[in-house]
Amino acid sequence: MTASFSRILRQAGLILALAASLSALSSRQSFAFSAEAQQMCTSDAFRLCSSEIPNIPKITACMVKHRSELSSGCRSVMDRDLTAQKKKVATTDSE
């Protein structure tokens, strides 16, 4: 295994671990990707937003900025998760 490939695998593991931790600890004001979005979007995150790794909020902003360049699967789950999060925040804020 090359050093470059090992580094990429380590970074992918770090991203997934951080994303999972943030998902578990997320408050109503923050956005947490579903496990499906994390799976579908990891390669897009590396391709489009590697300079933002491991900052999850910056990765999220970068992915939204590059929405038109995302793979169709990633774009689909991100759109679904963002819509669900907006509805959740709107419902919680109206209580």
Q: How far is CA 43 from CA 40, 71, 94, in A?
A: 8, 9, 37
pLDDT tens per residue, range 47-89: 999 898 888 888 888 988 999 999 999 999 888 887 877 776 6
Domain span at 59? 3-93
| pLDDT at residue 94 in the model | 59
Instruction: Count how many domains the chain has.
Output: 1
Could you give the CA distance from residue 14 to residue 63 in angstroms, rounded to a whole number?
Answer: 18
Q: For residue 37, how far is the Cα from the chain centroid?
A: 7
pLDDT tens per residue, range 8-56: 777 777 666 555 544 543 433 345 567 777 788 888 988 999 898 888 8
| pLDDT at residue 73 in the model | 92
| pLDDT at residue 66 in the model | 93
Give residue for tokens 């970068």.
Answer: 62
pLDDT greater than 70 at residue 90: no
